Copies of this chain bind each other. A is one copy, B any other.
């Protein structure tokens, strides 16, 4: 079926990520996501995105291609001082502008190095060059200035690669200078543990009843994300249909907010998830008000000593069992004084499985207000995937239990 849902705004944006580390799989590009979310706030979408190694001809080719199809071209990376930093040269060649030296930028670079008492390498002088007609963009968090150039009817922006340098420069010097599109009116929600096809069967007929609305779903580690465009009304109907399975914020934020709202505190006892539940929760600023502690009880001795799990219980049922999961969750709450205890115990793999207890088997338990809920799952896939799905399920159990009060 043809999907014509996303009308493009009038301004077309192309993104180019440069770096051989991206093309060789030594690094993952997270800039596209940043650009997309920021552009969305002014009603723009990314039309094209490409990644390119540190090769002059390839970068020149990508800039020319992007300039031919977009009004705005944003390139990141390649502004450092070393021999594989080729953005200045590539832009100069693509737009037929010679490189010129900016004395003020050179002074700013030298001042920066003096301020941090770092000895400057001579090659850093290269960073003060930019194509003729470009405006330099100051970089408060690094030595590489960016630059903006209007050429051949295209607005071209070059930004450094490191996210903490690029992001504030984008917000300050790029986002403020772009034309605004029509706001996108996206309705977004998430659900954990249902197959994507099942979610689709619920969402499709609802969206079909609402003119102009259209939708997409994605899956990540057991979480199905639903995005509906022009779908505020359809969204309300979907929320009704999925009920307590649905939530609107990122999972860890949702759980932290619900804990705060209930004035509940939580202690976590992780075995196979190895700290991932705690890591996800502590990504949320302010979670210290509700998270008392987490114990990654990787050894049986730790389960006994830290959480008060009876050694005999482990002997009888094994560390990966419903009984031990319950005892861990209850022990986490009891020994910490938290109102909620959460536990996982399982076999993340790749070894350690048996016929009765295969790799991927995880028991999850949440103890809260005198009641302990348990869920058993066998997750497919490799170690990292099992950890992710199990941590997400544990967080979703917390969410549902806090929700049902």
Mask of A275-318 contacts with B, CB within 8 angstroms, 1/0: 11111011101111001111111110110011000000000000
How many residues of chain A have a CB within 8 Å of chain B? 115
With a cutoff of 8 Å between Cβ atoms, the chain B residues found around residue A1 in the complex are 83
- Shortest A179–chain B CB gap in Å is 19
Residue A96 CB within 8 A of the other chain:
no
- On chain B, the residues within 8 Å of A293 by CB distance are 295-299, 302, 306
Spot the interface stretch: A99-107, A193-201, A238-246, A393-401.
Answer: A193-201
Number of copies: 2
| Contact pick for A29, options B32, B81, B275, B299, CB 8 Å | B32
Asked whether, in the complex, the Cβ of A49 is within 8 Å of the Cβ of B24, the reply is no
B residues in contact with A43, CB < 8 Å: none
CB distance from A388 to the nearest CB of B (A): 10
Given contacts A25-B33, A204-B83, A278-B296, contact A216 B6 (CB under 8 A): no
A164 touching B121 by the CB < 8 A rule? no
Across-interface contacts of A283 in B (CB, < 8 A): 274, 383-384, 387
Q: Which residues A205-228 have CB closer than 8 A to chain B?
A: 215-220, 225, 227
Q: A118-B195, A141-B381, A294-B294 are in contact. List 7 more A-B contacts (CB 8 A).
A: A25-B32, A27-B225, A28-B28, A29-B32, A121-B201, A275-B279, A276-B279
Q: List 13 A-B contacts (CB under 8 A).
A: A2-B56, A6-B53, A19-B218, A21-B216, A21-B225, A26-B33, A26-B227, A46-B53, A118-B195, A118-B197, A274-B281, A283-B383, A291-B296
A interface residues (Cβ-Cβ under 8 A, vs B): 1-3, 5-6, 19-30, 32-37, 40, 45-56, 58, 80-84, 86, 89, 118-121, 123-124, 141, 143, 162-164, 186, 188, 195-198, 200-201, 204, 215-220, 225, 227, 268, 270, 273-279, 281-283, 285-288, 291-299, 301-302, 305-306, 335-337, 348-351, 380-385, 387
